[in-house]
């Protein structure tokens, strides 16, 4: 009996040592996307098979807790090996710590292989240097209910007037054209950014560097259009607690959202085959095609650049195999041109963008200074709950007061 | 000196009082070390998990720590000055004051009324258990449940529609006039069970003699309550008030969950405001300063209540 016990103990110790050897090659990936934990681990497991280096995902429950962890880690000089972040000003701030590795050489290979367009690095470039590979490249497009469009005889709109005509047809048939709520407090910017981009892309960019005021004429024009659309009854009740489920259940004909929502809609019962998508046309039909893009970066610490395991994991992540593993697991697209499109919606938008030579604009949330994001989106939500020009004027005034104060200190 | 005094002095001399005192001191010292050894785990836990973070937080409030840097830059009272000029801080402070008043008045009044109502009735324990159930639920779960009760097409609006005969479409958690009262109502719903049980315990501790004497003297029920029950219940009520105010002052979960879609969520209370500043904006030093203010106000309120408690104790002795 003792012999058996000794054998078991020896076996356990042996297995522990083997496991210890195996974990020596693990690369830790920290992130705040707990809803994609399994999916990220699937990529990590694929990496282990392809390169011998396993990526182990470490999720944080909320973005706030995650930011606190990363900021404290970097402040104490111990940045994690590999972690996700956000684009825009918060990305610039991260790179300015000097603790993040430059990945110009990695990108040179990624572009030379024909897997990525050179412009795909724009979201991750600060002062001429590239600091991240993509986790996500989601275009914000208009999704629509195909059976309802077919029933009402509506074609995909190619101009703003056609889009408004489609909305009018939907409304006349007793349906609501657009699904839009303030659910969870962050959605207020979606239609604001779209209307700004469609009416004045230069002003949209100017909002983010302080050169255009939030109470200027381009902003007022966007609000006037927004109020007009609300007056016509084009939007769903902004107070709904279940925006995605609402659209999947047929609350509206169209839904302006990032491509990543396709998977959630399918999970809520709306088959991808019943879903269409198009890039929202500009108000000025002669203006060049443009689309809002949300980029999710993966960075590595400057210290990890010398670690061959981390570099192998990073290169696998952005490779065709990595992109396919990620697409298969999560339905997300990371911009790899040689990888399979995760779903027909993304394939269609890829094709439309190539055909129209569509320019990309960073999403409002990432492009806006982090110090202003929260207050501004709260103001935009306030407008959606009371969509009148009086509220719009008040919202614009309050946003501009904060905006002016912020930029005066820069 | 007589013979007896002489023999006492001799006895004391033989006992050697100083040696006895030394032995006592040594024994006390040993006892103290033994007590310290027993207390050390608790002292260590309190020190490391409570006192050190509190002191460190006070230090952070005087730095310029924002996001990735400034943790070692001394800022003086800069963060406290910024607080005074920030309109959101003022709104949060005002809403917190509403919470403090509401958390004193409503749980106590309703808890006391329920305790008096259910005391001695048939199925008293069943009623007590039912009313106590919300207290054992996690505040986050309570928040999620009530978030849906208050939804535009939720239980409350539907119920009101049935009663009024007209469709009711109130955005309880979206309107500045209704959001705080709605969340306070949820807080009261959750805390009133505990208040009721504590008041019932206080009522059962009241001696029967003065009550019977008052009845024999012909006092009415109201007079008995006003002049005998209430004064004897005061220590319990003061203790319940302290618990209630601290719970109301530091409430976060309910505001976080139920106020998620309300545009002014950051100003719903000082705790939520602090969370937004520190965790959303990365203004760690400023958030720490707000936490210090919250701590100071709680300390003041608790101190006032402790003084009241002492006075009440003296009165009732």
- Cβ pair B67:A93 closer than 8 A: yes
Round to whole Å and give the CA distance between A89 and A73: 19
**Which residue has tokens 């491509």?**
A259
Task: Give the mean pLDDT of B109-131.
Answer: 88
- Cβ pair A382:B281 closer than 8 A: no
Give the structural domain span for B257: 80-316
Lowest mean per-residue pLDDT among A124-138, A396-410, B247-261: B247-261
* B115 and B162 assigned to the same domain: yes
Chain A CB contacts of B263 below 8 Å: 182, 185, 188, 378-379, 381-382, 385
* B145 and B247 assigned to the same domain: yes
**In degrees, to the nearest 5, what angle opens at C-alpha B132 toward C-alphas B130 and B134?**
95
Report if residue B100 sits inside a domain: yes
Top-level CATH class of A140-292+363-408? alpha beta
Q: Is the pLDDT of residue A14 over 60?
A: no
Chain B CB contacts of A99 below 8 Å: 68
Q: Is the pLDDT of residue B317 over 90?
A: no
Local confidence band at A20 (pLDDT 50, 70, 90 cut-offs)? very low
Dump the DSSP string for A317-374.
Answer: HHSHHHHHHHHHHH------TTSPPSSHHHHHHHHHHHHHT-EEEE-HHHHS-HHHHH
Local confidence band at B30 (pLDDT 50, 70, 90 cut-offs)? very high
A403/chain B closest Cα distance in angstroms: 14
CATH assignment of A26-138+295-348, among 3.40.50.720, 3.40.50.300, 3.30.70.1150, 3.40.190.10: 3.40.190.10
Q: Is the pLDDT of residue A19 over 80?
A: no
Instruction: Determine the pLDDT at residue B178.
Output: 94
Round to whole Å and give the CA distance between A226 and A243: 19
Q: Which residue of B has its CA nearest to A186?
A: B261
* B107 and B11 assigned to the same domain: no
Q: Is the pLDDT of residue A392 over 90?
A: yes
Round to whole Å and give the CA distance between B284 and B63: 9
- Cβ pair B152:A237 closer than 8 A: yes
Local confidence band at B11 (pLDDT 50, 70, 90 cut-offs)? confident
Contact A279, A349 (CB under 8 A): yes
Instruction: Determine the pLDDT at residue A13.
Output: 46
Touching check for A185 and chain B: CB below 8 Å?
Answer: yes
- Read off the pLDDT of residues B227-239 as tens digits, 9 standing for 90 and up: 888 888 888 888 8
Round to whole Å and give the CA distance between B82 and A371: 15
Token pair of A267 as six digits: 């999970």
Instruction: Determine the pLDDT at residue B281.
Output: 86
Instruction: Determine the pLDDT at residue B80.
Output: 95
* B122 and B19 assigned to the same domain: no
Local confidence band at A17 (pLDDT 50, 70, 90 cut-offs)? very low
* B220 and B99 assigned to the same domain: yes
Report if residue B58 sits inside a domain: no
User: Which residues 255-284 in chain A show a CB within 8 A of chain B?
Assistant: none
B39/chain A closest Cα distance in angstroms: 33
Contact A218, A196 (CB under 8 A): yes
Instruction: Determine the pLDDT at residue A291.
Output: 96
Instruction: Determine the pLDDT at residue A1.
Output: 45
Instruction: Determine the pLDDT at residue A328.
Output: 92
- Read off the pLDDT of residues A234-261 as tens digits, 9 standing for 90 and up: 999 999 988 999 999 999 999 999 999 9
Touching check for A183 and chain B: CB below 8 Å?
Answer: yes
Instruction: Determine the pLDDT at residue A401.
Output: 94
Q: How many CB atoms lie within 10 A of CB A249?
A: 12
Buried b (16+ CB within 10 A) or exposed e, B283-297: bbbbbbbbbbbbeeb
- Cβ pair B65:A75 closer than 8 A: yes
Can you give the three-state secondary structure of A103-155, one letter per residue?
Answer: CHHHHHHHHHCCCCCHHHHHHHEECCEECCEEEEEEEEEEEEEHHHHHHHCCC
Round to whole Å and give the CA distance between A203 and A225: 16
Q: Which residue of B has its CA nearest to A97?
A: B68
A288 CA to centre of own chain: 22
Report if residue B73 sits inside a domain: no
* B25 and B170 assigned to the same domain: no
Q: Is the pLDDT of residue A340 over 70?
A: yes
Touching check for B53 and chain A: CB below 8 Å?
Answer: no
- Number of domains into which chain B is organized: 2
Instruction: Determine the pLDDT at residue B3.
Output: 66
* B36 and B86 assigned to the same domain: no
Local confidence band at A365 (pLDDT 50, 70, 90 cut-offs)? very high
Chain B CB contacts of A65 below 8 Å: 279
B134/chain A closest Cα distance in angstroms: 23
Instruction: Determine the pLDDT at residue B245.
Output: 83
Task: Give the mean pLDDT of A52-81.
Answer: 90
Lowest mean per-residue pLDDT among A104-113, B6-15, B300-309: B6-15
Touching check for B176 and chain A: CB below 8 Å?
Answer: no
pTM over 0.95: no
Residue A217 or B212, more confident: A217
- Read off the pLDDT of residues A349-364 as tens digits, 9 standing for 90 and up: 999 999 999 999 999 9
Smallest CA-to-CA distance from A186 within A368, A323, A392 is with: A368
* B36 and B121 assigned to the same domain: no
Q: Is the pLDDT of residue A211 over 50?
A: yes
Round to whole Å and give the CA distance between B184 and B196: 17
Task: Give the mean pLDDT of A136-164.
Answer: 96
* B88 and B34 assigned to the same domain: no
Instruction: Determine the pLDDT at residue A9.
Output: 53
Task: Give the mean pLDDT of B1-10.
Answer: 72
Local confidence band at B1 (pLDDT 50, 70, 90 cut-offs)? low
Contact A88, A205 (CB under 8 A): no
**Phi, psi (deg, nearest 5) at residue B290:** -65, -40
Round to whole Å and give the CA distance between A30 and A398: 37
Exposed / middle / buried, residue A292 (Cβ in 10 Å: 0-12, 13-18, 19+): buried
Ranges of each domain in chain A? 26-138+295-348, 140-292+363-408
Instruction: Determine the pLDDT at residue A16.
Output: 44
Round to whole Å and give the CA distance between A191 and A409: 29
Report if residue B264 sits inside a domain: yes
Instruction: Determine the pLDDT at residue A63.
Output: 85
């Amino acid at each position: 009996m003792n012999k058996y016990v000794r054998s078991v103990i020896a076996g356990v110790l042996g297995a522990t040592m083997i496991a210890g050897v195996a974990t020596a090659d693990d690369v830790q990936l920290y992130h705040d996307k707990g809803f994609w934990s399994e999916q990220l681990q699937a990529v990590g497991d694929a990496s282990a098979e392809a390169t011998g280096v396993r990526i182990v995902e470490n999720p944080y429950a909320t973005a706030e807790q995650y930011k606190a962890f990363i900021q404290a880690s970097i402040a104490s000089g111990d940045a994690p090996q590999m972690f996700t972040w956000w684009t825009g000003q918060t990305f610039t701030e991260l790179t300015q710590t000097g603790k993040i590795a430059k990945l110009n050489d990695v990108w040179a290979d990624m572009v030379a292989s024909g897997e990525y367009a050179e412009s795909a690095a724009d979201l991750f470039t600060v002062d001429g240097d590239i600091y991240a590979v993509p986790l996500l490249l989601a275009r914000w497009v208009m999704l629509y209910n195909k059976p309802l469009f077919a029933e009402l005889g509506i074609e995909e709109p190619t101009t703003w007037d056609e889009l408004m005509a489609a909305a009018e047809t939907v409304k006349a048939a007793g349906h609501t054209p657009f699904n839009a709520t303030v659910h969870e407090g962050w959605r207020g910017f979606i239609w604001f950014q779209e209307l700004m981009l469609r009416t004045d892309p230069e002003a949209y960019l100017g909002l983010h560097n302080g050169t255009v005021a939030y109470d200027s004429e381009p902003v007022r024009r966007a609000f006037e259009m927004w109020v007009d659309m609300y007056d016509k009854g084009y939007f769903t009740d902004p107070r709904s607690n279940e925006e995605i489920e609402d659209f999947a259940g047929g609350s509206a004909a169209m839904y302006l959202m990032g491509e990543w929502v396709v998977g959630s809609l399918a999970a809520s019962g709306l088959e991808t085959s019943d879903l269409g998508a198009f890039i929202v046309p500009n108000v000025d039909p002669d203006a060049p095609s443009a689309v809002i893009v949300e980029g999710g970066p993966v960075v590595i610490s400057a210290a990890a650049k010398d670690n061959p395991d981390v570099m192998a994991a990073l290169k696998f992540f952005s490779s065709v195999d990595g992109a396919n593993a990620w697409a298969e697991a999560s339905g997300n697209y990371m911009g790899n041109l040689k990888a399979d499109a995760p779903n027909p919606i993304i394939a269609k938008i890829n094709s439309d963008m190539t055909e129209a030579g569509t320019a990309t604009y960073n999403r409002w949330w990432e492009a806006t200074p982090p110090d202003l994001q929260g207050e501004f989106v709260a103001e935009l939500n306030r407008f959606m709950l009371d969509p009148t020009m009086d509220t719009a004027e008040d919202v614009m005034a309050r946003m501009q007061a904060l905006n002016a104060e912020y930029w005066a200190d820069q | 000196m007589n013979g007896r005094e002489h023999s006492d002095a001799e006895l004391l001399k033989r006992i050697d009082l100083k040696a006895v005192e030394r032995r006592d001191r040594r024994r006390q010292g040993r006892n103290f070390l033994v007590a310290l050894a027993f207390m050390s785990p608790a002292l260590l836990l309190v020190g490391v998990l409570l006192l050190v973070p509190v002191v460190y937080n006070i230090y952070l409030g005087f730095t310029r720590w924002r996001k990735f840097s400034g943790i070692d830059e001394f800022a003086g009272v800069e963060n406290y000055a910024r607080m005074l000029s920030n309109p959101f801080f003022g709104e949060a402070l005002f809403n917190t004051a509403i919470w403090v008043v509401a958390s004193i008045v409503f749980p106590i009044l309703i808890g006391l009324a329920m305790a008096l109502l259910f005391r001695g009735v048939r199925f008293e324990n069943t009623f007590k258990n039912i009313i106590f159930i919300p207290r054992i639920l996690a505040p986050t779960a309570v928040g999620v449940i009530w978030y849906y009760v208050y939804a535009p097409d939720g239980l409350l609006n539907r119920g009101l529609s049935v009663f009024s005969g007209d469709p009711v479409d109130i955005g309880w958690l979206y309107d500045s006039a209704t959001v705080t009262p709605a969340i306070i109502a949820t807080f009261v719903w959750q805390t009133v069970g505990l208040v009721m049980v504590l008041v019932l315990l206080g009522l059962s501790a009241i001696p029967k003699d003065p009550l019977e004497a008052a009845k024999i003297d012909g006092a009415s029920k109201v007079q008995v309550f006003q002049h005998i029950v209430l004064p004897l219940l005061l220590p319990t009520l003061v203790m319940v008030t302290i618990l209630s105010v601290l719970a109301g002052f530091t409430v976060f979960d309910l505001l976080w969950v139920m106020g998620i879609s309300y545009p002014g969520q950051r100003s719903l209370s000082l705790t939520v405001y602090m969370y937004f500043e520190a965790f959303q904006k990365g203004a760690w030093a400023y958030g720490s300063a707000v936490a210090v203010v919250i701590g100071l106000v709680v300390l003041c309120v608790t101190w006032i209540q402790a003084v009241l408690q002492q006075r009440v104790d003296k009165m009732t002795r």
